Amino acid sequence: MPITYRIATMDDLRTITDLSLLMQTGEYCGEDTEEDLIRWITKGLQYPEMEIFLAFDGDKAVGFSHVLIRHEWFWSENQEGPVGYLDIIFMHPDYRRQGIAETLVKMCEDWSRERDCIEFASSCDLENEVSFAFHTGIGFREIHRIIHFTKEL
């Protein structure tokens, strides 16, 4: 059965939450609770400058991408307009290296282009070699490295 793709709806809240929880057990070991994820996903599904795309193998959700428009992308080479930003791309481990994630990114690029973005950006943690290789493998180029700091006040 071929992989199918579509835009997520509020009916997909549980599906996206489950994929997000699975994502947190892999390369990205986030600390978000299930409730945090549900709040974030609900916001994303309702906000007009964000979109979530899903990939399915039959009825099984196997991956998703999350794109948004950033108006303040500091490291952009384009300071003239909004930038499409790939915030998350995740594939179930059993479905990696099949071109599915690349298709999801292409959907995000098309969505951004339709909203008058002339640049598409993304980021990954410095130590995430898998994500770095994926990004450069589908045409992204590195433009900046940074370490963020914080301090309690």
Looking at residue 40, its pLDDT comes to 83
- What's the pLDDT at 142? 82
CB 114 within 8 A of CB 73: no
Hey, what are 79's tokens?
Answer: 């300071």
What residues of the chain score a pLDDT lower than 70?
25-31, 73-79
pLDDT of res. 149: 79
- Residue 69 pairs in a beta bridge with 84
Provide the 3-class DSSP secondary structure of residue 104.
helix
Instruction: State how far the alpha carbon of 62 is from the alpha carbons of 28, 33, 113, 121, in Å.
Output: 17, 21, 25, 23
pTM for the structure as a whole: 0.85
pLDDT digits (tens, 9 = 90+) for 82-93: 889 998 899 998
pLDDT of residue 78: 59
Domains of the chain: 3-137 (3.40.630.30)
